[in-house]
């Protein structure tokens, strides 16, 4: 339906007309979808080519908060473009004041007054920081993960953000890659469920509410398979792995209604993802029916030039729009090049219309046209940022994210009275590193330290000694993207640490990575505990063997020596604002850990990529000869497998039952297993179900996670856990290049981790 408009000076009126023309509230979502489509079409009809291209342009923040004066030449240009209606979105602008000022220009000074959509990297919290995503994944607690994303959305939206560039749903098998901290680990089944939980948390039930925000599934695709774990590197991946491992979390995200997808920096089959027609149009917008919009990654349109895929800027622009990239994040190419390309007939206007419609649709869904200032309320911002309830929630999330890797002689939990505890390690008194690297909206130095958390147990004697820095010459606050200088030689603190350890009943050593040692651009070729910390650990061990090693890190580390020698090891990742409280409560047994590793821990870098769901190969053994698939100098198995994690209590699995050994395409098999708490603490366990497809038209993994249940058991209690297997659980991307299951024999395993041994089998028949 086309409406005739006179362009009036206060252009918002035009939008009001469009909105009121179709104003009609209905619970019927397909009806309201139709209404949004009509609103989008009407708006599109009155937009000039410039205005359309403007919607496809996203700028990084440039606003000078002290006034509207631009900071430099580039900023001036951007500012002018904003006034001219040539900006559809901004990122890295934060807070109600700053965003209101920008939104005012977009709404009140441009011809059509189309509001901006404001995107930010709200990855694991806004101001109140939850654990890094990899840590949250270790909880296997989908409700808590959803809640964590919800809290992030509440804070971000209260501060003017209505779109996050999260969740990162990239599967990765390579601990060298710095961004494993941002994902859910190595498994597509767990990764898909976590992606869905996060999207639910961010987007809620109703995107137009002022406390929900649009989510982004990123990075399409296979970014987590960067060769040798080096960020931004080439990806060379088989179709089999792409479909069966990489795509499932994206497909799950789209089915969950994620509003945007970000493409990736890497190439795929020689074609950069940003210029990849097959990925973005054939699959995403075609087969997968994605109705949101695609945002490029930062500068990735322009990067097709150094990739050697685009001749020049014009060419890069043309490739990107044709391939389906709808919004240009900071390449500044759409805004500068697209118009000419359309006029020359090189880019069809229908591509622009499609991209703009997709972007406008999400703006409508966010309610920005009903009220562009919907997310801009200073009172709400003041009330909700760092709200005590949010800190309570991230504390819960943090405790659930901790994984107990080793606990010999029940060194943990610590006794609460009459103990002398030596706490050692720079990270124990670090209030910045636990926030991780990916929290651009939070305030530096705001995490509760382990030292402060442990002080809350006053009936023990606590001595703290740094021992050694992780980073040399930190010089105050470590800024985002600041260069990391590892302490490779300063051992001046060793002696004081030795003295403290000598008389202690227990030594708690907090060692690992600085918060800025993982994340984007922060790949590592060595994944040892960095600097002189390993040496410090070995020195203290000579003096006192009662060591609890608490690891803080954004990726699996190589901890072979510690695993052999140190009696208790706790994987505490980077747990966010409430780090110290979470760790202390776990160390003292006020919370019994139940986390399970979402990524295998290698024994050495040489084993990488290492993952539980590998193929069998033609030579899996016999192991008493040389000619089988193995290393001569290392075991094949990881140090700690996927799904692994201990508790202060123990669990016994027994009585595996199934109600049928045959499955057809309509039936299901009911499986049950008894699990008993056989230890001395109430505790939680993640009961895991793995399935192995013995033989298929393409080779299949040795096992795949297909179900899990998080159960809590009192001391001595037994529960019966049930799983149901049906045909859809057995589907994979087959030789026929479709998702299907194939009749035949399957084994299944139930247990405490990916080495689960309780086993039975069934046959799938047509
Ligand atoms: C580059 C990263 O790859 C992407 O994940 C992020 O959202 C953008 N920068 C924006 O900061």
Of 544, 555, 548, give the one whose Cα is nearest residue 514. Answer: 555
- As beta bridge partners, residue 96 has none
Helix (H) and strand (E) counts in the chain:
21, 26
- What topology does CATH give the domain 399-607? Rossmann fold (3.40.50)
Phi and psi at residue 535, to the nearest 5°:
-65, -40
In the reported structure, the alpha carbon of residue 373 is separated from the centroid of ligand 1 by a whole-number distance in angstroms of 25
Which atom, in ligand 1's list, is nearest to the CA of 223?
Answer: 3
- pLDDT above 90 covers what percent of the chain? 90
29 or 149, greater pLDDT: 149
65 or 385, greater pLDDT: 385
- pLDDT above 70 covers what percent of the chain? 93
What is the average pLDDT across 379-403? 98
Cα dist. 595→438, 631, 703 in Å? 22, 30, 21
Nearest CA to ligand 1 atom 3: 297
In the reported structure, the alpha carbon of residue 298 is separated from the centroid of ligand 1 by a whole-number distance in angstroms of 6
What is the average pLDDT across 530-559? 98
In the reported structure, the alpha carbon of residue 99 is separated from the centroid of ligand 1 by a whole-number distance in angstroms of 20
Nearest CA to ligand 1 atom 7: 165
How many whole angstroms separate alpha carbon 578 and alpha carbon 421? Answer: 21
What is the average pLDDT across 696-723? 98
16 — pLDDT class (breaks 50, 70, 90) = low
Predicted local confidence at residue 63, as pLDDT: 62
How many whole angstroms separate alpha carbon 172 and alpha carbon 179? Answer: 9
Token pair in block for residue 430: 């670090």
Question: Domain-by-domain residue ranges, the chain?
Answer: 399-607, 651-764
By the 8 A CB rule, do 78 and 102 touch? no
Decide the pairing of beta strands 718-726 and 506-512.
unpaired
By the 8 A CB rule, do 202 and 153 touch? yes
Is residue 151 helix, strand or coil? Answer: helix
- As beta bridge partners, residue 670 has 724
Give pLDDT tens digits for 18-49.
Answer: 555 554 444 456 668 899 999 999 999 999 99
**Contact residues for 234 (Cβ-Cβ < 8 A; gap 6+):** 226, 227, 266, 267
3-state helix, strand, coil in the chain (%, to 5): 35, 20, 45
65 — pLDDT class (breaks 50, 70, 90) = very low
Probe target for ligand 1 pocket from 121, 217, 303, with the most ligand atoms within 8 Å of CB: 121
Token pair in block for residue 355: 């991209």
Decide the pairing of beta strands 683-693 and 744-751.
antiparallel
Task: State yes or no: pLDDT of 10 exceeds 50.
Answer: no
Nearest CA to ligand 1 atom 4: 297
Q: In what order do the strands lie in the sheet with 461-465?
A: 403-407, 568-571, 547-552, 506-512, 420-424, 461-465
Predicted local confidence at residue 64, as pLDDT: 54
Predicted local confidence at residue 13, as pLDDT: 53
Cα dist. 152→36, 158, 387, 396 in Å? 27, 10, 11, 14
Which atom, in ligand 1's list, is nearest to the CA of 219?
Answer: 5
Predicted local confidence at residue 28, as pLDDT: 54
From 2-11, 65-74, 441-450, 606-615, the region with the lowest mean pLDDT: 2-11
Task: State yes or no: pLDDT of 451 exceeds 90.
Answer: yes
Probe target for ligand 1 pocket from 329, 330, 481, with the most ligand atoms within 8 Å of CB: 329
- Superfamily assignment of 651-764 in CATH? Immunoglobulins (2.60.40.10)
Give pLDDT tens digits for 261-313.
Answer: 999 999 999 999 999 999 999 999 999 999 999 999 999 999 999 999 999 99
In the reported structure, the alpha carbon of residue 292 is separated from the centroid of ligand 1 by a whole-number distance in angstroms of 18
How many whole angstroms separate alpha carbon 210 and alpha carbon 192? Answer: 27
The H or E element spanning position 763 is strand 758-764
Give pLDDT tens digits for 410-426.
Answer: 999 999 999 999 999 99
Q: Could you give the angle at which helices 313-323 and 334-343 cross, rounded to 10 degrees? A: 80
Give pLDDT tens digits for 452-490.
Answer: 999 999 999 999 999 999 987 655 444 444 567 888 899
DSSP state of 646: B
How many whole angstroms separate alpha carbon 30 and alpha carbon 745? Answer: 43
Residues classed as catalytic: 297
What does the radius of gyration of the chain's CA atoms come to, in whole angstroms? 27
By the 8 A CB rule, do 513 and 222 touch? no
How many whole angstroms separate alpha carbon 292 and alpha carbon 278? Answer: 17
Which atom, in ligand 1's list, is nearest to the CA of 166?
Answer: 7
Alpha carbon 108 to chain centroid, angstroms? 36
């Amino acid at each position: 339906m086309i409406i005739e408009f006179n362009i009036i000076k206060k252009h918002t009126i035009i939008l009001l007309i469009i909105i009121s023309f179709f104003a009609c509230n209905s619970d019927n979502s397909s009806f309201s979808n139709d209404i949004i489509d009509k609103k989008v079409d009407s708006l599109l009809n009155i937009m000039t080519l410039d205005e359309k291209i403007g919607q496809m342009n996203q700028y990084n923040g440039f606003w000078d908060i002290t006034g509207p004066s631009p900071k430099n030449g580039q900023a001036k240009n951007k500012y002018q473009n904003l006034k001219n209606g040539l900006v559809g979105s901004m990122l890295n602008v934060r807070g109600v004041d700053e965003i209101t000022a920008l939104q005012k220009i977009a709404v009140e000074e441009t011809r059509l007054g189309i509001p901006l959509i404001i995107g930010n990297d709200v990855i694991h919290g806004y101001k109140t920081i939850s654990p890094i995503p990899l840590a949250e994944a270790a909880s296997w607690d989908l409700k808590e993960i959803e809640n964590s994303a919800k809290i992030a959305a509440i804070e971000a939206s209260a501060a003017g953000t209505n779109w996050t560039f999260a969740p990162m749903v990239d599967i990765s098998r390579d601990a060298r890659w710095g961004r494993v901290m941002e994902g859910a680990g190595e498994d597509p089944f767990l990764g898909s469920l976590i992606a869905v939980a996060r999207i639910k948390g961010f987007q809620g039930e109703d995107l137009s509410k002022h406390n929900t925000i649009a989510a982004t599934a990123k990075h399409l695709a296979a970014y987590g398979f960067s060769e040798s774990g080096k960020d931004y590197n080439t990806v060379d991946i088989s179709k089999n792995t792409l479909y069966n491992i990489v795509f499932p979390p994206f497909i799950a995200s789209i089915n969950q209604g994620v509003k945007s997808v970000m493409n990736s920096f890497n190439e795929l089959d020689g074609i950069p993802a940003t210029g990849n027609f097959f990925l973005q149009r054939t699959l995403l917008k075609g087969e997968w029916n994605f109705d949101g919009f695609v945002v490029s990654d930062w500068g990735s349109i322009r990067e097709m030039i150094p990739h050697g895929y685009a001749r020049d800027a014009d060419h890069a622009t043309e490739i990107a729009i044709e391939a389906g990239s709808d919004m240009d994040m900071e390449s500044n190419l759409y805004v500068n090049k697209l118009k000419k390309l359309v006029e020359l007939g090189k880019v069809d206007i229908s591509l622009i219309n499609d991209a703009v419609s997709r972007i406008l649709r999400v703006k409508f869904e966010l309610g920005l046209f009903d009220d562009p200032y919907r997310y801009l309320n200073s009172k709400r911002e003041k009330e909700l940022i760092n709200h005590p309830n949010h800190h309570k929630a991230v504390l819960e999330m943090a405790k659930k994210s901790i994984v107990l890797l080793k606990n010999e002689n029940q060194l943990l939990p610590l006794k609460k009275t009459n103990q002398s505890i030596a706490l050692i390690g720079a990270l124990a008194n670090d209030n910045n590193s636990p926030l991780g690297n990916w929290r651009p909206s939070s305030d530096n130095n705001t995490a509760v330290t382990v030292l402060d958390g442990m002080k809350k147990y006053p009936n023990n004697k606590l001595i703290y000694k740094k021992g050694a820095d992780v980073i040399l010459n930190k010089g105050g606050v470590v800024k985002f993207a600041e260069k990391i200088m590892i302490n490779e030689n300063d051992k001046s603190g060793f002696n004081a640490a030795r003295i403290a350890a000598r008389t202690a009943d227990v030594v708690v050593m907090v060692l690992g990575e600085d918060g800025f040692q993982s994340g984007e651009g922060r790949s590592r070729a060595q994944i040892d505990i960095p600097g002189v910390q390993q040496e410090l650990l070995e020195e203290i061990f000579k003096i006192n063997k009662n060591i609890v090693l608490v690891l803080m890190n954004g990726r699996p580390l190589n901890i072979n020596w510690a695993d052999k020698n140190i009696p208790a090891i706790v994987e505490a990742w980077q747990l966010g604002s409430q780090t110290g409280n979470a760790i202390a409560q776990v160390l003292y047994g006020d919370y019994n850990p139940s986390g399970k590793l979402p990524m295998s821990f290698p024994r050495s870098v040489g084993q990488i990529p290492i993952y539980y769901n590998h193929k069998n190969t033609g030579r899996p053994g016999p192991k008493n000869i040389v000619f089988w698939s193995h290393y001569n100098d290392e075991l094949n198995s990881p140090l700690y497998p996927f799904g692994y994690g201990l508790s202060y209590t123990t669990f016994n699995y027994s009585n595996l039952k199934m109600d049928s050994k045959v499955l057809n395409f309509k039936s299901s098999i009911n499986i049950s297993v008894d699990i008993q708490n056989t230890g001395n603490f109430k505790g939680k366990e993640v009961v895991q179900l793995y399935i192995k497809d013995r033989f298929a038209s393409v080779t299949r993994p040795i096992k795949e996670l297909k179900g899990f249940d998080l159960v809590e058991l009192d001391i001595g209690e037994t529960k019966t856990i049930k799983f149901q297997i049906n045909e859809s659980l057995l589907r994979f991307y087959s030789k026929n290049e479709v998702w299907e299951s194939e009749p035949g024999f399957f084994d299944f395993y139930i247990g405490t981790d990916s080495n689960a041994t309780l086993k039975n089998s069934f046959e799938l028949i047509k």
